[in-house]
Structure 1
Amino acid sequence: MNLADLKFTIQIQGVMLIATLLTIVGDSLFSPFAKASSQIAIIVNNQIITNNDIRHRTAFFRLRGEQGNIKKKVLQELIDEVLKMQEANRIGTVAHKKEVEIAYLGFAKSNKISLSRLNQIMNESGITIIEFKKYIRTQISWQRAVSTKMINRSRIEKRSQSWLSPIEESVKNTTEYTFQQVVFTIPITQRSLILNHRQTESKKFRKKFKGCDSSLALAQEFNDVAVIDRGRKLRDELPKRWRDLLKTTPVGGISNPQFTDRGIEMLAVCKIRTVFSDNAIDFFDDRYSKESIKKIEKDYFDLIKTRSIIKYR
């Protein structure tokens, strides 16, 4: 696949980002970028945008086939994205790293190219993998910020609009768990011989457990114990038996031992937080027209900009 044939179509949390490339003649897009120091170009609420940021985004604009005053558009897009991420951080709608990775992989698949080929294109074009993933992360995070704004607006309207009540449950926040799975393995052939012993060991482990940071060191005091980092998972992504265990286990604690096909298992809760549910997106697609959504988003962002301090260097 030629670079000029790459189609920028990304499905991100219900929003389609499309920027089909125009035909690019020759190899000019692959010409090496001159090395330059990362000088500060703009300061947005004490957060800097450097010349390197501008250089990478200019490459992205060229790849998207943008026309007109590219420099002006690049600066405005970078400023807008900083403001959007600042707001997403403020209200807690920043996309997880895993979500960005999934979207990036989906982008490669939609273009029918391998991940390594996409990485090569990003680096050779001057965009870089990191910068493109930052772009994806901003799109997801900002969309959630807008959806949160709309939910708050709808809750105010709820007093006079009864139709929202049965729907509100589907757009509420959900719980995200960061946890570990601790497994005292028991070979099938020895199950009847060592089950009681392993149960006793698992109870000792639970009694000595002091938190996720020290779980690996604690596991080394026992034989054949695996500590599996399960990362961050939304409640709805988990099997019911895990949901029940995590619900009753506090942060820094570990669940009661459970007998499974693998042996004796426990779940250690490292962190719990409440995050916004993406089910709201479909809800708003149905309840609001595209025009009204755009207006709410524009008014929201205009308000953010009026409160911002932007300095050009």
Structure 2
Amino acid sequence: MKMTLLLRAFCHLALFAVLSFACLNAPLHAQSVAVMVNGEPITSFDIEQRSRLIQISTHKTPTRQQVIDELINEKVKVKEAKKFGVNPTSADIDQQYASMGARMRMSPEQLTKSLASQGVRPDTIKARLKADLVWGSLVRGRFKDSLLVSDRDVNEALRNSGEDQSKTEGFEYQMRPVVLVVPRGAAASVMESRRKEADALRERVQSCADATRIFKAMRNATIRETVVKTSADLPPPIRDLLDKTPVGHLTPPEITRQGVEMVAICGKKATSVDTPKKKEIREKMFAEKYEKKSKDYLEDIRKSAMIEYRQGGPGKKGE
């Protein structure tokens, strides 16, 4: 009897070991290594996940090799960045992930749920975010001098653009923000009453001195220190609003979380030092320089990377 029980126990253990081995090896088979990059694997699962992500974001179906190349690039970028001490924490990546969700008007949890509904894990997109983050910091940090765009280059590009030079000037604005405070949770009627009060104040204020005197004497109101901005610092809708408001007057009231806000225009003068057009040209020239430097740098580090295709690739070792 004891022998029979021992045999049964042995059989159960043997069966458990076989099943455990099978279960452990099933994911390994599903995640078979397709490429090794500097000793780090890119699995078939990584490729499948990235393919889905690209399809979602571009509405195009990439080839397998395009996906593999993107993943290889990210591996070599992250390794190169680590050499220079650029290694963001998990919290940094989570913050990037949250910012991405915010741009899509979703919380991190909502973004994760949306991705999951399309078969994409959050780690897939976080890997891309990490590579983009470290690479941008690395290229800008290592090559900042060669990426600089001089005023001379901008002015020359502006002359060659054929733009009407009289239309390329901007303004420097001196402003004092003012707020009629409305407590959070106040009734809509309170906000409306303060908005009407703001409209009346726009009629009274004829100079920044008026604005300072009136708002400093008011209860539940504040006037902030002078802020100086150029046209290049401001988005077009704000520029248009400031251009339409005469010096010494208040901009139309705007409802915000603090209450009813306006801006007193204390000064406005034309400037050609920094204008929206110059900013546009400068950003375009910087982007072109960055793109070229980034491409050349990536090509160099890929040449020295150990890249070994295991299956589903061109079957070459190194590049």
TM-score range, shorter chain: 0.3 to 0.5
Q: Given the two structures, how large is their TM-score scaled by the length of structure 2?
A: 0.43
- Structure (1 or 2) with the greater strand fraction: 1
Give the structure-1-normalised TM-score: 0.44
Greater Cα radius of gyration, structure 1 or 2: 2
Normalized per residue, which structure has more helix?
2
